[in-house]
């Protein structure tokens, strides 16, 4: 029979815990000194890691559905591991979702060291926005930098996402 038990903490304290949020109720028989141990879940918080491969608008929609399905958002901390390659419009939509979910969840954090999400500037993303002049020149320059294989590519991809969002909203 097991003689040593460890209940852990009554609330989750780390992403690595395997069965957090429990207490142990121990009943010891006074005659036989035999212990009966029952685990009772009392925790109200959750830490979770959500991984998603995002390569299309449909993948972003599925990710949104997964996030919407998480219960007790106000007591759930989420670390995201996102991988894939998204067109600018899909990345802009993802950014809007992340902003929205940051208001609903106790925590939404991009787990940077595990992230591998790239943005590809697709001409069709910007075709219907009617950009001209300085904005079109900016789009062309950012698109070229976003496709480069250097440190400026990520910043250019982020800037393209912002340009798309601002141009779409008319700001």
Q: What is the 3-state secondary structure (H, E, C) of 8-48?
A: CCCCCCCCCCCCCCEEEEEEECCCCCCEEEEEEECCCCEEE
User: Higher pLDDT residue, 171 or 74?
Assistant: 74
pLDDT band of residue 144 (cuts 50, 70, 90) is confident
> At residue 171, does pLDDT exceed 70?
no
pTM: 0.73
Structure confidence by residue, pLDDT tens digits, 46-69: 999 999 999 999 999 999 999 999
DSSP 107-166: EEEE-GGG-EEEEE--HHHHHTTT--HHHHHHHHHHHHHHTSSSTHHHHHHHHHHHHHHH
pLDDT band of residue 132 (cuts 50, 70, 90) is confident
Mean pLDDT, rounded, of the chain: 88
| pLDDT of the residue at 170 | 67
CB 51 within 8 A of CB 78: no
Tokens of residue 52, six digits? 């998603």
User: Higher pLDDT residue, 35 or 5?
Assistant: 35
Q: What is the 3-state secondary structure (H, E, C) of 150-169?
A: CCHHHHHHHHHHHHHHHHHH
Query: Can you tell me the distance from the alpha carbon of 146 to that of 149, in angstroms, rounded to the nearest whole number?
Result: 8
CB 120 within 8 A of CB 164: no
- Map out the domains of the chain as residue ranges: 1-44, 46-169
> At residue 168, does pLDDT exceed 80?
no
Query: Can you tell me the distance from the alpha carbon of 96 to that of 90, in angstroms, rounded to the nearest whole number?
Result: 10
Instruction: Please state the rounded mean pLDDT for residues 133-149.
Output: 84
| pLDDT of the residue at 67 | 98
Q: Is 71 helix (H, G, I), strand (E, B) or coil?
A: coil
Query: Can you tell me the distance from the alpha carbon of 147 to that of 127, in angstroms, rounded to the nearest whole number?
Result: 18
CB-based contacts of 159, cutoff 8 Å, min separation 6: 142
Tokens of residue 61, six digits? 């929609």
Instruction: Please state the rounded mean pLDDT for residues 125-151.
Output: 82
């Amino acid at each position: 029979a097991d003689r040593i038990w460890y209940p852990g903490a009554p609330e989750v304290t780390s992403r690595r815990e395997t069965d957090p949020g429990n207490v142990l109720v121990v009943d010891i028989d006074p005659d036989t000194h035999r212990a009966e141990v029952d685990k009772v879940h009392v925790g109200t918080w959750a830490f979770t890691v959500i991984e998603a491969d995002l390569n299309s608008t449909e993948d972003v929609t599925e990710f949104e559905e997964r996030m919407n399905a998480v219960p007790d958002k106000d007591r759930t901390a989420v670390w995201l591991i996102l991988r894939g390659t998204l067109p600018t419009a899909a990345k802009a939509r993802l950014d809007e979702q992340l902003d929205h979910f940051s208001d609903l969840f106790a925590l939404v954090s991009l787990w940077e060291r595990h992230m591998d999400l790239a943005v590809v500037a697709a001409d069709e993303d910007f075709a219907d926005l009617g950009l001209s002049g300085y904005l079109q020149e900016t789009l062309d320059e950012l698109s070229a930098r976003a496709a480069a294989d250097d440190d400026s590519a990520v910043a250019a991809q982020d800037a393209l996402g912002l340009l798309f969002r601002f141009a779409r909203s008319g700001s």
